Amino acid sequence: MPDTPDPRLTPARPDLADIRLKSVVAAERYVAGEPARVVVPSAPLRRAPRLEAGLETEAVMGDAVTVFERRDGLAWVQIARDGYVGYLPEAALGPADPAPTHRVAALRTFVYPAPDLKRPHVAHLSLGAAFAAEVQEGEYWRLAGGGFVFAGHAVPLGTAEADYAATAERLLGTPYLWGGRTSLGLDCSGLVQLCLETAGRACPRDADQQERALGDALPPGLDGLLRGDLVFWKGHVGLMLDADRLIHANGHHMAVAIEPLREAVERIAVKSFGAVTSIRRLDPIA
């Protein structure tokens, strides 16, 4: 029998589905989605169309989405970056064009109403957010959607960080947030996704998806690990900084924290996710 479509990645409900799924899932109606783009610093994506529904993930400025429905101030969408499906605030969306030209490389930066650091800021953008730059005025980019960002905090889209583990270290101390994927709050897989994306590597959203898709499995055991290796539990993931130290966003510290891998393995086995399920190696960090 064919595998059941992953609901996290499948734009299908009993009443409505993506027209591309017409031969795959049953629905009362099929629609061709419309392209749009996130135009606010960040937006919560929820599994259900209710404000009290839990945070599944976050979309950030510049994210391309496909919109299948707009109703009661919410939009049912699929995020292009990782295929995640859910409900975003409709007000977070704008036209698909212009496409972004730059992404934020600083942990976070401010949007100003003028190219002047003394002016009160109007918003902040997190690491990885993207924008269309119209022209540089002094030390600032003028954004196509309005406002100015300090040019030194951004890089051209496509610029890749050489060491994704170094990006994780920059995020040390960031508060833990279930579903978070910005420098204001991260969960375990959000940390890994954000760091890999800054290195130009595509990455699924959740730990189980990452475990299936990323790298090659190493033999069982905790010896011989390298910087950049990913350690997986059932429902959790962390990133090795060297042979002994793990960095991960976790509910024990309620933050992105560094700790000895063996200590983390012992605690997690007893208190939360059980035993390590695999350790996977991507292309080594240069």
Q: Calculate the average pLDDT of the chain.
A: 96
Q: How many CB atoms lie within 10 A of CB 59?
A: 27
| pLDDT of amino acid 133 | 97
pLDDT on residue 285: 75
Q: What is the mean pLDDT of residues 71-87?
A: 97
pLDDT of residue 153: 98
Is 102-156 the same fold as 7-94? yes
| Tens digits of residue pLDDT in 32-62 | 999 999 999 999 999 999 988 999 999 999 9
pTM of the model as a whole: 0.96
What per-residue confidence (pLDDT) applies to 139? 98
- As a whole number, mean pLDDT of residues 95-103 equals 98
DSSP secondary structure string, the chain?
-PPPPPGGG--B-SS-EEGGGTTTS--S-EE--EEEEE-SSEEEEESSSSTTSPEEEEEETT-EEEEEEEETTEEEEEETTT--EEEEEGGGEE-S-SPP-EEE-SSEEEEESSS-TTSPP-EEEETT-EE-EEEEETTEEEETTS-EEEGGGEEETT---S-HHHHHHHTTTPBB-TT-EETTEE-HHHHHHHHHHHTT----SSHHHHHHHSSEEPPSSSSS--TT-EEEETTEEEEESSSSEEEEEETTTTEEEEEEHHHHHHHHHHHSS-SEEEEEE-SPP-
Which CATH number does the domain 164-281 belong to among 3.40.190.80, 3.90.1720.10, 3.40.50.2300, 3.40.640.10?
A: 3.90.1720.10
- Mean pLDDT value across residues 117-125: 97
Question: Where does the pLDDT of residue 1 fall: very low under 50, low under 70, confident under 90, or very high at 90 and above?
Answer: very low
CATH code for residues 7-94 = 2.30.30.40
* pLDDT score of 28: 97
For 149-192, what is each residue's pLDDT tens digit?
999 999 999 999 999 999 999 999 999 999 999 999 999 999 99
Strand 64-71 vs strand 17-18: parallel, antiparallel, or unpaired? Answer: unpaired
Interval 127-151: pLDDT, tens: 999 999 999 999 999 999 999 999 9
Q: Superfamily for 102-156?
A: SH3 Domains (2.30.30.40)
- Please report, rounded to a whole number, the percentage of residues in the chain having pLDDT higher than 90: 96
Domain spans, the chain: 7-94, 102-156, 164-281
Overall average pLDDT of the 200-216 stretch: 97
Q: What is the pLDDT of residue 19?
A: 97
